[in-house]
Amino acid sequence: MKKMLVVALTLLLLTLFVSAQNPPGTPGAGGCQMMKHPNYQMLGGRGMEDLLEDLNLTQEQETKLVDLKFAHQQEVLPLKRDLTKKRIELKSELEKENPNKATLEKLTDEISVLQAKIQKSKLNFLLSLKTVLTPVQWRKVKENFMEEKGRQFKMREERRQIRKYMPPPLPPSKDEEGEE
């Protein structure tokens, strides 16, 4: 249960800070000072601004949060790049006529190590955020996260229901088979 909560909070904060509801740099309502921060454009733009306005952060808290997020991104981006590279290598090896089992196992182990490093970095980032926020602000972040996860779950279920009633793909016609 604790592990699930940590993963859920990690996903929440990453979703909130990385994804922007509006394109970065679009003028928005409110007077959040985040837009003036030098690293603001790299941190998700308006989506992050909206969250920070809802939390009623002090200017010092805003600055600390942006700096923490920027440092976290600098740590995680190279890991994500390496992870993508390893996944491509794994896929390439799997597509060979005779894939090398030792190579596949080695790549799988390397992927696992990179994933663990990314998760630990996310956890450290969350713990850092919690030290900057007040208990009331932290509660708001968790509530916002649960609402977002609920919406995502509902959308996922709706897509499953739609797929359930979709007809299967049609087999190729005789004319199409002759063209290939």
Q: What does the pLDDT look like over 64-101, one tens digit per residue?
A: 988 998 999 999 999 999 999 999 999 999 999 999 99
Distance CA 132, CA 64 (A): 7
Please report the domains of the chain, with CATH numbers, ordered by start residue.
11-142 (1.20.120)
pTM of the model: 0.57
Q: What is the pLDDT of residue 106?
A: 97
Tokens 């394109």, residue located: 23
Q: Look at residue 115 in the predicted model and tell me its pLDDT.
A: 96
* Count of alpha carbons within 13 angstroms of residue 38, beta-carbon side: 1
Q: What is d(CA 117, CA 111) in angstroms, rounded to the nearest whole number?
A: 10
Percent of the chain as helix, strand, coil, to the nearest 5? 80, 0, 20
Whole-angstrom CA distances from 48 to 68, 69, 91, 107 are 13, 11, 35, 35
Model pLDDT for residues 126-174, shown as the tens digit of each residue: 889 889 999 999 888 777 767 767 777 788 888 888 877 777 777 776 6
Tell me the chain's radius of gyration from C-alpha atoms: 22
Please give the pLDDT value at position 171: 74
What percent of the chain lies above the pLDDT cut of 90?
Answer: 35
